[in-house]
Amino acid sequence: MNQLIKELQEVIDKKADNHELKQELSTLVKMLKIGFEKKTNGMEKIPKLFSSNDTKKITKFYDNLANNINGLKVAGSFDQFNEYLKITYGITINFSSEDAPKNSYIKTPKKQKKFYDLYSSYFLDDVPKNPSDAIKRIFNSLDKLNKEYSNESDGVKESLKAIIEKQNEHSPTTVKIIDKLLTNSRLKSVPLEDIANDAENSLMQQQQGIDIILKQSESGE
């Protein structure tokens, strides 16, 4: 086997493992979004943000949050915001992390069954009677998996970077194209030859378009 292909295959193995983590994350996010009466959209972004260890992104999040709260105070609507949080989420401004917001499971039978099936098949447990316990467990799992996914992704990037840097025969672009083809073949479970043929057809169509434009330019029309 070509040495470059062999090294890239090792990177693809790591990508395949990380892809499974991504599927798990997708399942947890789906649980969070369909399982509860109150809106949870966006909650899944918090563990993702902090697992990235990206100081700039975290700082930007804090700054935006602080500016919005300050804007509420300046506009004189902070009390209204405080009341909204208390009524809608069971949160008061001086709440501690132990003061869990009041939540309730989705009441739509079809969605409830889907949530119960997802939860039980993933955690191998019955759905807790207290909805807040379920949210906390989902959230903790999201946090753990996001950290693992982020670390694995960084490892994949470093491995690919190392392969590119020591490569003398092929350009970085060529290595990245080979990596992309191998990745698509592995993750989509499609023969590599089929993936390569599709890519070749796409390139031929692009070349035809380029040829038409160049001829147009040469004719001066």
Of 119, 141, 121, nearest to 131 by C-alpha is: 119
To the nearest whole percent, how much of the chain has pLDDT over 90?
A: 63
8 Å CB contact between 155 and 163: no
d(CA 179, CA 163): 11
Signed CA dihedral, 211, 214, 220, 221: sign only: positive
174 pLDDT more than 80: yes
Q: Give the mean pLDDT of 69-98.
A: 76
pTM beyond cutoff 0.95: no
pLDDT for the residue 156:
95
Residues 6 or more apart whose Cβ sits within 8 Å of residue 44: 28, 29, 32, 33, 142
List pLDDT tens digits, range 182-220.
999 999 999 999 999 999 999 999 999 998 998 888 776
List pLDDT tens digits, range 103-146.
789 999 999 999 999 999 999 999 999 998 999 999 999 999 99
pLDDT for the residue 60:
92
Half-sphere exposure of 80 (CA within 13 A, CB side): 7
d(CA 129, CA 141): 19
List pLDDT tens digits, range 15-52.
999 999 999 999 999 999 999 987 777 888 889 898 88
